[in-house]
Amino acid sequence: MQGLRDKGHIQTGQKVLINGASGGVGTFAVQIAKAFGAEVTAVCSTRNVDLVKSIGADHVIDYTKEDFTKGDQHYDMIYDLVGNHSFSERRQILTPNGICVLAGMGGAGLHPESWRRLIANFSAAFRSNFTPQKFVTYIAKLTKEDLDVLRDLMQSGKVSPVIDRTYKLDQTQAAVRYLEEGHARGKVVITTD
């Protein structure tokens, strides 16, 4: 929510592309962007197409079949949780004053490729100082006010958490190992009861 609202300045009617739409953050982002009135394009793999449609995505691009940076469509915002395309590829599909919110590097594991993408994100943010289209990074902050907004969105039925797997506390190691594989479908939950 902070990435879309505070960094991306999301507006009703905007075209928003979410890269990495099927993961723990992406499944929230699709629903929150819809709640803000955006037209949402979700990028995910074949097995998650139905999932992202079920949570409200207007359009879906299957990344195993199509490269979203090669299409004709232009977006007011790219909310990028994967960072697997270059600065110029993403600029090509942004509207003239569009914004790319650089939220992540694809999955939770810190392997060499994620470090490369992290550095590329900072480089893109710097380079966009010299272009009309902006690339911004951010780290989410936990605040009571925003948790209240999320609670209200959930109580109104506009946002529902997508739960992939649930682990008991003593299985946390297995839960983190699963998350680090980078293919979660929604959130991975640890229960303490």
Ligand X SMILES: NC(=O)c1ccc[n+]([C@@H]2O[C@H](COP(=O)([O-])OP(=O)(O)OC[C@H]3O[C@@H](n4cnc5c(N)ncnc54)[C@H](OP(=O)(O)O)[C@@H]3O)[C@@H](O)[C@H]2O)c1
What is the C-alpha separation between 151 and 165, in angstroms, rounded?
22
Task: Single out the residue of 40, 43, 99, 100 in contact with ligand X (rule: CB under 6 A).
Answer: 43
Q: Which of 40, 82, 100, 124 binds ligand X (CB under 6 A)?
A: 82
Choose which of 7, 15, 19, 55 interacts with ligand X (CB under 6 A): 19
Tokens at residue 167, please?
A: 């682990």
Residue 43: exposed, middle, or buried by beta-carbon count in 10 A (0-12, 13-18, 19+)? buried
**Strands (DSSP E) found in 15-138:** 15-19, 39-44, 59-62, 75-80, 94-102, 134-137
Establish if 183 lies at the interface with ligand X (CB under 6 A).
yes
* Minimum CB–partner distance for residue 102 and ligand X (Å): 8
Residue 184 interacts with ligand X (CB under 6 A): yes or no: yes
Q: C-beta of 124: minimal distance to ligand X in Å? A: 14
**x/- map, 116-155, ligand X, by CB under 6 A:** ----------------------xxx---------------
Cβ-based neighbour number of residue 137 at 10 Å: 16
Please work out the total of residues on this chain that contact ligand X, with binding judged by CB under 6 A: 29
Binding to ligand X by residue 54, rule CB under 6 A?
Answer: no
Nearer to ligand X, 159 or 184 (CB): 184
Contact 162, 187 (CB under 8 A): yes
Q: State the maximum Cα–Cα separation within the chain, in Å, rounded to a whole number.
A: 52
Separation between Cα atoms, residue 31 and residue 16, nearest integer Å: 12
Candidates 8, 10, 14, 23: give the one binding ligand X (CB under 6 A). 23
Amino acid letter for position 30:
V
Q: Is the Cβ of residue 42 or residue 153 nearer to ligand X in the bound state? A: 42
Residues within the interface to ligand X (CB under 6 A)? 19-20, 22-26, 43-45, 48, 63, 81-82, 84, 103-108, 138-140, 179, 182-185
